[in-house]
């Protein structure tokens, strides 16, 4: 009998959610378990540093002016630098500095952390891996050699049904207000509001996908145009009437 398993699943409770790590066709379970332990430690460390709900986290203390940026762990400056790049990419529609209460990179951190977690798995002997952080997905490989992962995007008006199925070629982030209510902030009108009911962005880096999806959800067409001009990133959005629009390379499954 082969010692190759179709899939192993690990659940990590962190960042106010459950992060799911799926490993496919694992051949060395000892190495896989050690990697999952590293992933768990990494995600909990990110939560301790970046949580805006933890009063003593370095980010919370930075927001209150108790610490300077130079006094925080180096990953804070790194993430804020990445956020600045995302702000530029989106023409200012993704702007952690515009949020009430001080700078809040939450819209980037979850995807960035999941992408970092995925990198801990790349040297394992397996066909593919998925890190799913509350619906935002980082992946490589597939469920078997030469097979591509597929995933569904739910309808914003009915979470029991899918709007579409897509091939998962790296990372996929989906943003909208159907699950969490009005939590997306328009940095130009200074209101919690969106132009799209749901916005999804696919590409090689989940942190960037997360930021782009947030911006697309808030801005709509203007950011869709910007994403269409980016190499390696594709987008799909659904408006309040249920109409769907996508960039030409968005990987819909047609069959």
Q: Could you tell me the CATH number of the domain that includes residue 47? A: 3.10.520.10
**Dist CA 250 CA 255 (whole Å):** 15
pLDDT tens-digit series, residues 79-131: 999 999 999 999 999 999 999 899 999 999 999 999 999 999 999 999 999 99
pLDDT of residue 182: 60
pLDDT of residue 151: 96
In a domain? residue 38? yes
Total number of domains constituting the chain: 1
Query: Does 211 score more than 60 pLDDT?
Result: yes
In a domain? residue 1? no
In a domain? residue 25? yes
In a domain? residue 181? yes
pLDDT of residue 254: 83
Q: What's the longest Cα–Cα distance across the chain?
A: 62
Domain that holds residue 32: 7-246
How much of the chain exceeds pLDDT 90, in percent? 89
Query: Does 2 score more than 50 pLDDT?
Result: no
In a domain? residue 253? no
In a domain? residue 67? yes
pLDDT of residue 1: 32
Under 8 Å between Cβ of 74 and 3: no
In a domain? residue 117? yes
pLDDT of residue 144: 94
In a domain? residue 252? no
pLDDT tens-digit series, residues 155-189: 999 989 999 999 998 999 999 765 555 679 999 99
Residue closest to 67 by CA, chosen among 43, 49, 47, 42: 49
pLDDT of residue 178: 57
Which H or E run contains 195?
A: none
């Amino acid at each position: 009998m082969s010692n190759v398993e179709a899939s192993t699943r690990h659940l990590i409770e962190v960042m106010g959610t459950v992060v799911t790590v799926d490993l496919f066709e694992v051949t060395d379970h000892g190495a896989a378990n050690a990697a999952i332990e590293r992933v768990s430690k990494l995600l909990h460390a990110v939560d301790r540093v970046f949580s805006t709900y933890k009063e003593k986290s370095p980010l919370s203390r930075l927001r209150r002016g108790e610490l300077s940026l130079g006094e925080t762990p180096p990953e804070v400056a790194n993430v804020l630098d990445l956020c600045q790049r995302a702000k530029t990419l989106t023409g200012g529609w993704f702007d952690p500095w515009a949020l009430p209460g001080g700078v809040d990179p939450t819209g980037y951190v979850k995807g960035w952390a999941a992408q970092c977690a995925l990198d801990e798995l790349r040297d394992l002997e397996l066909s593919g891996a998925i890190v799913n952080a509350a619906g935002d997905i980082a992946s490589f490989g597939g469920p078997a050699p030469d097979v591509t992962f597929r995933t569904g995007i739910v309808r914003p008006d009915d979470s029991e049904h899918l709007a579409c199925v897509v091939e998962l070629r790296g990372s996929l982030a989906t943003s909208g207000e159907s699950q969490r209510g009005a939590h997306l902030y328009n940095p130009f009108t200074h209101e919690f509001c969106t132009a799209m009911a749901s916005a999804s962005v696919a590409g090689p880096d989940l942190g960037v996908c997360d930021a782009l999806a947030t911006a697309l959800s808030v801005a709509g067409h203007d950011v869709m145009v910007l994403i269409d001009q980016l190499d390696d990133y594709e987008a799909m959005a659904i408006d309040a009437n249920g109409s769907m629009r996508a960039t030409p390379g968005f990987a819909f499954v047609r069959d």
